Amino acid sequence: MADNKIFLSEKDIPQKWYNVQADMKNKLLPPLKPDGKPAGPEDFAPVFPMEIIKQEMSQERWIEIPDEVREAFKVWRPSPLQRAVNLEKALKTPARIYFKNEAVSPAGSHKLNTALPQAYYNKKQGIEKLVTETGAGQWGSAIAFASQKFGLQCEVYMVKISFEQKPYRRILMQTWGATIYASPTNRTNAGRNVLAKDPKSLGSLGIAISEAVEAAVTGKNSRYCLGSVLNHVCMHQSIIGLETEMQLKIAGEKKPDIIIGCVGGGSNFAGIAFPFIPRKMKGEDITLLGVEPSACPTLTRGPFRYDFGDEAKSMPLVKMYTLGHSFVPSGIHAGGLRYHGDSPILSQFVNEGLIQAKAYPQTPVFDAAVLFARTEGILPAPESAHAIKGAIDEAIKCRETKKEKCIVFCLSGHGHFDLGAYEAYLTGKLNDVNLDEAKLKEALAEVPVMDFKR
Ligand SMILES: *Cc1c(COP(=O)(O)O)cnc(C)c1O
């Protein structure tokens, strides 16, 4: 029997990212400008560096990872794949449960996998400052670390509810040299507009994105960067699945039966799942399951249509599952899963039936988190706990049907900065907020009616 922890050596860090766009049967529909015309590279040039724009639209299957980025990865990569033997015992399941541990990165989540290449390409183009938003603070900390690594200044608009709930993430970002603002701020038009309507706004990822984009395009020699949703981000995260595939082989697994990830904007799930898409397309029986919170049920309750990625409509529209760009989810503790939209690639795969989606309320998610912490010893991020809950339910199904499946999930991050959420759970103060249908209808009414015919 193989070890419970499967390590690779530094030389095994993938040389290339996998770009699933090359293997899509139906190519993605283009991003659209508000006038309905496709947005081209020139529309993105004030926002992103050229290399990132190229990757965003690339149809090449494999894209070289620069040596400097692979070197930077060596601080924590390759990350271990671990078999959750103690969790299996507690569940009395015949299933084999593995988790890819992305919590071991310096920033504590998978987000550094894309923060480092993004900072690198900006630096290479001579950019001096990166501006971004952060929800729960994970993206902000990743980009703060990556910015100082490659010698860039870093400015972060942090969603106010997280700024208040998670001061330690802010301090971590500041330790790595970044400047942080609680969004909505009165530093931008986008922020001022929101505050005029609702001075007590707790903010949302959509609002913070608008502020960061505005600050980046109006600032001197600065660019914006995004930690999820976009194609290049999903591609950078493919390193998770590529390593997982090697590690499963070492563990003696012929194939994973089910791969699970939590979905905020879709990048960690894309990262672990997309490298298995070619095998699935060739007919291998591999289920890919994305798990989201029922308070922000984009894939399970949103329509698949063109919408803006941000509150102030400053970015082109993309076709995705969406709850509406003005949708502000309730203040659940999985702050990283509070985004109104999802990756267009992931959305299309869900629409085509290649990928499944499921939603859970936060109480059962925290039940799963605590069981995982007590069995495997790792305190998961509330976001990652959605994937754990998904994996536990699959493992219980295996117990009931006596099936020995190989279940793999992505542990996208640790929860060391989420102890306030754990306290709420442990003291019975956590409540499950059901998404109000009227609120959803209201937000969807603001989504423009738009489509693209090839
Ligand atoms: C940001 C974050 C997520 C959600 O983002 P995705 O792009 O959907 O991966 C999930 N887990 C953790 C730990 C995060 O930091």
Does one domain contain both 213 and 310? no
* pLDDT tens column, 138-181: 999 999 999 999 999 999 999 998 898 788 999 999 999 999 99
C-alpha span between 314 and 384 (Å, rounded)? 30
* pLDDT tens column, 91-121: 999 999 999 999 999 999 999 999 999 999 9
Between 206-210, 354-358, 419-423, the lowest mean confidence (pLDDT) is in 206-210
pLDDT of residue 161: 87
Residue 177 lies in a domain: yes
pLDDT of residue 310: 84
Ligand 1 lined by 19 (C-beta under 6 Å): no
C-alpha span between 410 and 408 (Å, rounded)? 7
pLDDT of residue 225: 96
Give the residue from 216, 231, 246 where a domain finishes: 231
Give the residue from 231, 249, 270 where a domain finishes: 231
Q: Looking at ligand 1, which residue's alpha carbon is closest to its atom 4?
A: 264
C-alpha span between 395 and 117 (Å, rounded)? 36
Beta bridge partner(s), residue 406: 96
pLDDT of residue 331: 75
Element (H, E) at 55: helix 50-57
Does one domain contain both 293 and 413? yes
- Neighbour tally for 404: CB within 10 Å: 10
CATH number of the domain that residue 182 is part of? 3.40.50.1100
Does one domain contain both 82 and 168? no
pLDDT exceeds 70 at position 48: yes
pLDDT of residue 292: 97
Does one domain contain both 337 and 434? yes
Residue 453 lies in a domain: no
DSSP 173-193: HHHTT-EEEEES-SSSHHHHH
pLDDT of residue 1: 60
pLDDT exceeds 80 at position 192: yes
Q: Looking at ligand 1, which residue's alpha carbon is closest to its atom 1?
A: 336
* Residues spanned by the domain of 258: 5-9+66-108+238-444
The stretch 177-194 carries a mean pLDDT of: 96
Number of structural domains (the chain) is: 2
The stretch 290-303 carries a mean pLDDT of: 96
Residue 426 lies in a domain: yes
The stretch 122-130 carries a mean pLDDT of: 98
C-alpha span between 242 and 371 (Å, rounded)? 28
| Beta strands at 287-293 and 304-308: parallel, antiparallel or unpaired | unpaired
Ligand 1 lined by 113 (C-beta under 6 Å): no
Does one domain contain both 315 and 280? yes
Residue 14 lies in a domain: no
C-alpha span between 18 and 182 (Å, rounded)? 35
Does one domain contain both 252 and 216? no
Does one domain contain both 143 and 206? yes
pLDDT-derived band at 334 (thresholds 50, 70, 90) equals confident
Does one domain contain both 280 and 376? yes
Does one domain contain both 274 and 393? yes
Residue 450 lies in a domain: no
The stretch 365-373 carries a mean pLDDT of: 98
> Would you call 308 helix, strand, or coil by DSSP?
strand
Buried b (16+ CB within 10 A) or exposed e, 405-423: bbbbbbbbbbbebbeebbe
Atom of ligand 1 nearest to the CA of 266: 8
Residue 192 lies in a domain: yes
Element (H, E) at 373: helix 362-376
pLDDT of residue 335: 77
Does one domain contain both 199 and 88? no
Furthest-apart CA atoms within the chain: distance in Å: 62
Q: Are 366 and 430 in contact (CB under 8 A)?
A: yes
Distances (CA, A) of 369 to 163, 210, 261, 315, 391: 23, 32, 14, 35, 11
Ligand 1 lined by 336 (C-beta under 6 Å): yes
Ligand 1 lined by 412 (C-beta under 6 Å): yes
Between 194-198, 366-370, 431-435, the lowest mean confidence (pLDDT) is in 431-435
Q: Residue 283: phi, psi to the nearest 5?
A: 110, 0
Ligand 1 pocket: which of 267, 299, 332, 388 to mutate (most atoms within 8 A of CB): 267
Does one domain contain both 124 and 251? no
Residue 451 lies in a domain: no
Element (H, E) at 195: helix 189-197
Residue 356 lies in a domain: yes
Give the residue from 231, 265, 294 where a domain finishes: 231
Between vectors from CA 277 to CA 271 and to CA 279, what angle results, nearest 5°?
Answer: 130
Atom of ligand 1 nearest to the CA of 268: 9
Ligand 1 lined by 134 (C-beta under 6 Å): no
pLDDT of residue 330: 82
pLDDT exceeds 90 at position 371: yes
pLDDT-derived band at 313 (thresholds 50, 70, 90) equals confident
What is the arrangement of strands in the sheet containing 287-293, beginning at the earlier edge strand? 5-6, 81-83, 96-101, 406-411, 258-262, 287-293, 356-360
C-alpha span between 433 and 16 (Å, rounded)? 42
Cα of 383 vs centre of ligand 1, distance in Å, is 6
Does one domain contain both 104 and 118? no
Quote the mean pLDDT of the chain.
95
The stretch 279-293 carries a mean pLDDT of: 97
The stretch 80-98 carries a mean pLDDT of: 98
Ligand 1 lined by 263 (C-beta under 6 Å): yes
The stretch 212-232 carries a mean pLDDT of: 95
